[in-house]
Amino acid sequence: MQLFLAGLAGLPTDEVRKAKSLYIRNAISEYNAMSESLAAFGCVQVIFAIIPFFWPILYAQRRMMNAQRKLFEERIQNALDVWKDDLAGERFDFPRA
C-alpha cells in the first residue's frame, strides 16, 4: 500500500480520492474472488472429510483459509478507517464473512 500512496504524491486532491476509491473497490473485488475460490475448495474438502486420515490436514487448511479471509478483511477495513475522511462518506459493498 505504501507504494500506492507514494504514487499519489503530487496528484490533485480529487484524483487522489478517485485513486483511493478505486483501490478499495479493487481490494473488495479481490476479496470476493478469493472467497469464491475458497468456497469451491471447501466443496472439494468435503470428499476428503469422509476419510479420518485427512482430518488433521483439512483442519489445518481450514484454519489457513480463515486466516487469509481475516487478513483481507482487516486490510480493507484498515484502509476504509484511515481514508474515511478522504473518501467523503463514499459507501462500499463489502460483505464480511
Q: For the chain, what are the domain ranges?
A: 13-82
pLDDT of residue 19: 86
Is the pLDDT score of 4 beyond 80? no
Do residues 92 and 29 touch, judged by C-beta distance below 8 A? no
Q: Where are the alpha helices (DSSP H) in the chain?
A: 2-7, 13-48, 55-82
- CA 27, chain centre distance (Å): 6
Mean pLDDT of 23-49: 92
- CA 92, chain centre distance (Å): 13
Is the pLDDT score of 97 beyond 60? no
Quote the percentage of the chain above a pLDDT of 90.
52
